[in-house]
Amino acid sequence: MLKMIVFDMDGLLVDSEALYKAGWLKVAAAHNIPLTAADLAGWSGQSLQVTTEKLIALMGSAQVVEQLRKEREIFISQQLAADKVQLKPYGKEVLTAARQQGLILALATSTFRKRGEAFLQALGIADFFDYVTFGDQVTRMKPDPEIYLTSLAKAGLRAEEAIAAEDSIAGATAATKAGLPVVLVPDQSVDSHYTAAEKADLNILLTGTSLKVLLDYLQKDAEGKED
């Protein structure tokens, strides 16, 4: 019996991945660093450690990467203050439907707490979640299952009592390793498409191009309970 849904944030509930990439391109250009969109392709859902290593390889210095990361955070904060960060289509609708069905809602995001809380509050979805785990509250990032195992432990539930909603292969892998079926919704804003080989080892319950696939699933389940 389904008791909980564990949601990712960036690229799934919040339309932020394109913003993150735009931030890197903007600050790199300001420092005359030849960073391109192609360099950033496929980074969605990857951990801070992995992306930092890739940036150091591109920029040649951890100090430069740290400085640009600070400038990028300022850019992101400015965009949030200017209402340039939005929920994904059906984001609030699916949270509302899940809450109406009495489901426990958890958030398991690689984003660190400071930025994550700012997003949740600004977009008006913080109060939907019973349990929230940010990337700086675990020791191992996705695709390691720790963040999903933490969510289950907080709720006192078994994996078979929950499902995960993710947009990235790294996130879906983390959920699968924790034993959760996955609703996979690749981020269309950054043109994410996954091959059959990439999805082969995932425990996929549903897949779609928007969160409507999960909303329809919840509504159908509610109708079945009424019958």
**Number of domains the chain is built from:** 2
- pLDDT exceeds cutoff 60 at 225: yes
**Helices 113-122 + 62-81 axis angle, to 10:** 10
Token pair in block for residue 127: 């109060």
CATH number at residue 173: 3.40.50.1000
Is there a single domain that holds both residue 55 and residue 113?
no
Last residue of a domain, one of 61, 81, 101: 81
Confidence label for 222 from pLDDT (cuts 50, 70 and 90)? confident
Confidence label for 33 from pLDDT (cuts 50, 70 and 90)? confident
Coil, helix or strand at residue 188: helix
In the chain, the percentage of residues whose pLDDT exceeds 90 is 71
Least confident residue range of 13-22, 39-48, 99-108, 206-215:
39-48
Confidence label for 44 from pLDDT (cuts 50, 70 and 90)? low
- pLDDT exceeds cutoff 70 at 45: no
- pLDDT exceeds cutoff 60 at 227: no
Least confident residue range of 38-42, 107-111, 218-222:
38-42
- pLDDT exceeds cutoff 70 at 104: yes
| Number of other residues whose CB lies within 10 A of the CB of residue 102 | 7
- pLDDT exceeds cutoff 70 at 17: yes
Quick one: CA dihedral 65, 117, 161, 153, positive or negative? positive
pLDDT of residue 46: 64
Phi and psi based region of residue 151 (left: phi greater than 0; alpha: psi -120 to 50; beta: remaining)? alpha
Measure Cα distances from 153 to 58, 129, 148, 165 in Å: 39, 15, 9, 18
Last residue of a domain, one of 27, 52, 81: 81
All residues at 6 or more sequence positions from 129 whose CB lies less than 8 Å from its CB, including other chains: 7, 105, 106, 107, 120
- The pLDDT mean for the chain works out to 92
Confidence label for 47 from pLDDT (cuts 50, 70 and 90)? low
Is there a single domain that holds both residue 53 and residue 112?
no
Is there a single domain that holds both residue 176 and residue 189?
yes
All residues at 6 or more sequence positions from 132 whose CB lies less than 8 Å from its CB, including other chains: 106, 107, 116, 120
Tens of pLDDT, residues 49-97 = 777 888 888 888 888 889 988 999 999 999 999 999 999 999 999 999 9
Last residue of a domain, one of 81, 99, 126: 81
Tens of pLDDT, residues 153-163 = 999 999 999 99
Is there a single domain that holds both residue 97 and residue 168?
yes
Is-contact 131 151, C-beta < 8 A? yes
Q: What is the pTM of this model?
A: 0.88
Is there a single domain that holds both residue 219 and residue 163?
yes
Expressed as residue numbers, the domain containing 36 is 17-81
Confidence label for 226 from pLDDT (cuts 50, 70 and 90)? low
pLDDT of residue 31: 86
